Structure formats: C-alpha cells, structure tokens
Amino acid sequence: MSYEELDHTADVRLRVRSPSLNSLFEETALAMMNIVYGVSRPGTAEKTLELEAGNTENLLLDFLSEVLFLSEVEYLVFSSATVQIAGNSLRAVLAGESFDPERHRGGTEIKGISYSGLKIVKEDEEYVLDILFDV
C-alpha cells in the first residue's frame, strides 16, 4: 500500500499518495482496515455505499466513518474497495471477509477520523492526503 505513517505522539497520522481521487479514497479505507485488523484475506461479503457531502474532504471523512461503522456493526474486514466519485457524491463497493478473532486481532481500534490537519492536495500527477486517526 502507498501510505506512510507520519509522526504523531498519541494517534496515527498517515500520508497517502495516489494517482486519482478514487484510488486515494480506496487506499485510505484499506489502510484503515489494516490498522484496525492487521492482515486480511479477500472474501465474498459485499457492501455498497452511496454518500454526498459539501466538499471532497468532507466526502472522505463521511466515507471513512461509514466504512468504520459498517465494518464494526457487520463484523466485516474489508480487503477491497472500489470507489467512484462524481462531483461531491460517491458510490463505493466494499468487499471482504467476516471478522475472525483468531486472525483479525493484530491491530488497534480506530475511535474516529479527525478533522485536525486533514488535507488533500494535488501534487503533479498525484493526490496527497494527510489524515489523523484517533486510536
């Protein structure tokens, strides 16, 4: 995955780079799954999401919060995400496997996605995101 962990004393701060906004959203959602559950396998469980927000950053916040919510209440660990953004709306298909306490307890709980320091910028041919998760 093309993300790096930036320094932060208390929480998890990531920098994610990706060639498109769609893939930026996809990779950030999967990075989040990796932090919470560790390594996961592909699976057949599937969830579809449709969202709208006032701007791209809020769309990302809402999307990630929704992924976290779905994963927790449906006991699913997503290993793939397909995101299509059109303007300020989004459609996503998430796929993965059921939570297995034997294999998915290698990570740490994300309590929330912070607005602090959140930024998405376009640098040359790629989008760069800085984001902080409260863990």
Partner 1 sequence: MLERVTRLGEYEWEVPAGTVPGMRVPGRFFLSDSLYRSLESGAVQQLANVATMPGIIRYSMGMPDIHWGYGFPIGGVAAFERDTGVISPGGVGFDINCGVRLLSTPLTIGDLDHRRELIETLYQSVPTGVGAKGPVKLSLGDLEDMMVKGAAWPVNQGYGLQKDIEYCEERGCMAQAESQSVSAKAKQRGMPQSGTLGAGNHFLEIQVVKEIYDPDAARAYGIHPGQICIMIHCGSRGLGHQTCTDHLKVLEGATKRYGIVLPDRQLACAPLSSPEGKAYFGAMAASANYAWANRQMIMHTTRTVFEKMYRIDYESMHLVYDVAHNVAKMEEHSHEGKRVEVCVHRKGATRAFGPGSPDLPPAYAKTGQPVIIPGSMGSSSYLLRGTTTAMERTFGSTCHGAGRILSRSAAKKTISGAKVKNSLSKEGIIVRAPNDGAIAEEAPGAYKPSAEVVRIVDALGISNLVARLEPLGVIKG
* Cα Dmax for the chain: 43
Q: How far is the CB of 79 from partner 1 (least distance, A)?
A: 16
Q: Distance (Å, rounded) from C-alpha 93 to C-alpha 26?
A: 10
Count the Cβ atoms, other than its own, within 10 Å of residue 26: 20
Neighbouring CB atoms inside 10 A of 113's CB total 20
Instruction: State the nearest-atom distance from the C-beta of 76 to partner 1, in Å.
Output: 10
Minimum gap (Å) between residue 38 Cβ and partner 1: 8
- Number of other CB atoms surrounding residue 55 within 10 Å: 10
Least Å distance between CB 133 and partner 1? 9
Nearer to partner 1, 23 or 131 (CB): 131
26 vs 31: CA distance, rounded Å: 9
Cβ atoms of 126 and 17 within 8 Å: the answer is yes
Residues contributing to the site for partner 1 (CB under 8 A): 5, 7-12, 36-38, 58, 61-62, 65, 69, 72-73, 75, 99, 101, 104-109, 111-118, 132, 134-135
